[in-house]
Chains A and B, each alone.
Chain A
């Protein structure tokens, strides 16, 4: 679907969604009018309605889904929201949504976050065992990323390999930084 700009006939490239108390306002603007409205780069067009539904659907029907992937109508046991609801209002209902819809959300999150898929940085102060578990978990992520890098090199996909190397070095740096800075309180 292609929206014309709200203010002229040009193709809208910037789609701004605002939800307030369940009332949603969507504005579609062309480059020029988006810039005039001060949106420009602020507008997360990659993350906006057109394409999002497709991304969600392809993620939930992919041949090798990244995680157990529920369909658009499966609801989160925590809050009852479905992926379709998320597509409509662009907000998740509860923290459990992140677990239930992890596979489909990965695609959305990576789009919104310029390719990033894992948290790096502060972890909340929590009991010591939780911190250890956290560290073990992130080491596992790192191992998986290194595995993917080896694979990419083997099949000579150098673009992927370069991007993975970049991600890994950031991740390692973040891991060091967060361990250095944020030794959780006992």
Chain B
């Protein structure tokens, strides 16, 4: 039986978090994270167990207040959740990780470490407590919505700094445990779906463009992870010496429209010049997804990505892109178990995943 912790962001329907947003044919989601520390406390890794507990206790109610209804200038519906990492079940942590609400570090072991994540009921805004920094404020919106995500995170930060004194220096800005985050503490990122650029081996070019702009291209779950399902994240590398607006402008006026246009051109070129290859590719994916009985995560994401490419190039006129986008979420291990409401062993997951996808595509 699965313990039923309330999970931020609903899974139902194409309009849910798992659906698509602005420029959703290429941009899956936009995320802004701000690293903050409390003044007068040792950084998390250096603090004693008692001090870590103290930090967690001190942050709990101010953070939950921020994420509750009617706060930070927005109407948020529903009660926020507070999930302690030292008591959460492994599959719940995995779900939070798949939803990008916690970092890989937070998801890992050590049941003794007092850590938590607080999230608004819709999952759009969240705060990690006692990660590498005491506080990591985050806003995630679907589609291309970096400005909105920044405004949301910035508003959280404004309210928070009224309630808690934050570590700040005139020279170095917001102080963080690692000097790679110091200054604005701002990490912005967009998750991109780039099947055509991947198929035409042009991802290296995107990487080069990113590097020239001082940004980094990463895999699905961030730094050091492999890309899956042609999903890539672009995020900023430096946090000091330029204001928040300048950092965001690298994305909104630079790389993001460029890569979006690039991907769309590559899709059009595939459809025009390599239509037989494309048809074969998409139809094979369709065949495998509608007939397979055991489907591992990675393969599912990759095949669903091919199907989306088919929809986006007009080859599958009756299939909804938003539905496929949602399936790419539900195919991930913890989402699958949460959606089906039961705990499954790896072999059972492959079977259930195959069934879920077959059913969904039969209706498409």
Residues on A facing B (Cβ under 8 Å): 16, 18-22, 35, 37-42, 44, 47, 78-79, 81, 89-95, 98-99, 102, 105, 108-109, 112-126, 133-134, 137-138, 141, 167, 170, 173-174, 177-178, 181, 185
- Closest chain A residue to B183, Cβ basis: A119
Nearest neighbor of A90 in chain B, beta-carbon distance:
B178
Query: Closest Cβ of chain B: how far from A137's Cβ, in Å?
Result: 5
User: Of all chain A residues, which has the CB nearest B207?
Assistant: A40
- When distances are taken between beta carbons in the complex, the residues of chain A under 8 Å from B37 are 95
- A19 vs B309: C-alpha distance when bound (angstroms): 39
Q: List 8 contacting pairs A-B, 8 Å CB cutoff, sorted by A.
A: A21-B113, A38-B227, A40-B211, A91-B178, A117-B241, A119-B184, A120-B241, A174-B243
With beta carbons under 8 angstroms apart, the residue of B39, B177, B180 that contacts A44 is B180
Complex: A147 Cα to B225 Cα, angstroms: 45
- A174 surroundings in chain B (CB, below 8 A): 242-243, 246
Interface string of B159-174 (1 = CB under 8 A from A): 0011000111111111
Nearest first, the 8 closest Cβ-Cβ pairs linking A and B are A116-B241, A119-B173, A121-B243, A95-B167, A93-B46, A42-B216, A38-B219, A113-B240
B43 at the interface (CB under 8 A from A): yes
Q: A20-B108, A134-B170 are in contact. List 18 more A-B contacts (CB 8 A).
A: A18-B105, A21-B110, A38-B223, A40-B211, A41-B237, A98-B175, A98-B182, A109-B182, A112-B179, A112-B180, A114-B238, A117-B171, A119-B170, A122-B173, A122-B174, A122-B243, A124-B157, A177-B246
Q: Is the CB of B239 within 8 A of A91?
A: no
CA distance A134 to B139 in the complex (A): 28
Q: Are B241 and A118 in contact (CB under 8 A)?
A: yes
Pick the contact of A91 from B132, B225, B243 — CB < 8 Å? B132
Assuming the A-B contacts A42-B223, A94-B41, A112-B179, are A122 and B216 also in contact, with contact meaning beta carbons closer than 8 angstroms in the complex?
Answer: no
> How far does the Cβ of B207 sit from chain A's closest Cβ, in whole Å?
6
Q: With A21-B113, A40-B207 as given contacts, are A78 and B42 in contact (CB-CB < 8 Å)?
A: yes
Q: Provide the residues of chain B in CB contact with A141, threshold 8 Å.
A: 171
- Please give, as numbers and ranges, the residues of chain A lying within 8 Å of B54 by CB-CB distance: none
Which residues of the other chain, A, contact B225 by a CB distance below 8 angstroms?
Answer: 38
Q: Nearest residue in A to B176 (C-beta to C-beta)?
A: A92
Interface of B with A (CB < 8 Å)?
Answer: 37, 39, 41-43, 45-46, 105, 108, 110, 113, 132, 154, 157-158, 161-162, 166-175, 177-180, 182-184, 186, 207, 210-211, 214-219, 223-227, 237-246
A21, A78, A121, A174, most chain B CB atoms within 10 A: A121
A79 in contact with B46 (CB, 8 Å): yes
CA distance A117 to B162 in the complex (A): 27
B245's closest neighbor in chain A, by CB?
Answer: A177
CA separation between A170 and B245, bound complex, in Å?
A: 12
Shortest Cβ distance from B212 into A: residue: A41
Contact B210 A41 (CB under 8 A): yes
Question: Most A CB atoms within 10 A — which of B158, B218, B243?
Answer: B243
Q: Is the CB of B216 within 8 A of A41?
A: yes
B255 to chain A, nearest CB (A): 12
B42 touches A94 (CB 8 A): yes
For the complex, what is the distance from the CA of A106 to the CA of B207, rounded to whole Å?
A: 29
Partner of A125, one of B108, B162, B175, B244: B162
B218 lies within 8 A of A38 (CB): yes
Tell me the complex Cα distance, A41–B179, Å.
18
C-alpha gap A185/B159 in the complex (Å): 11
Closest to A81 in B: B46
A contact residues around B161 at 8 Å (CB): 124-126
Known A93-B42, A94-B46, A102-B171; contact A121-B244, beta-carbon cutoff 8 A: yes
Establish whether residues A113 and B243, one from each chain, have CB atoms under 8 Å apart when the complex forms.
no
Do A92 and B179 have beta carbons less than 8 Å apart? Answer: yes
> What is the bound-complex CA distance between A137 and B180, given in angstroms?
23
Bound Cα distance from A40 to B223, whole angstroms = 10
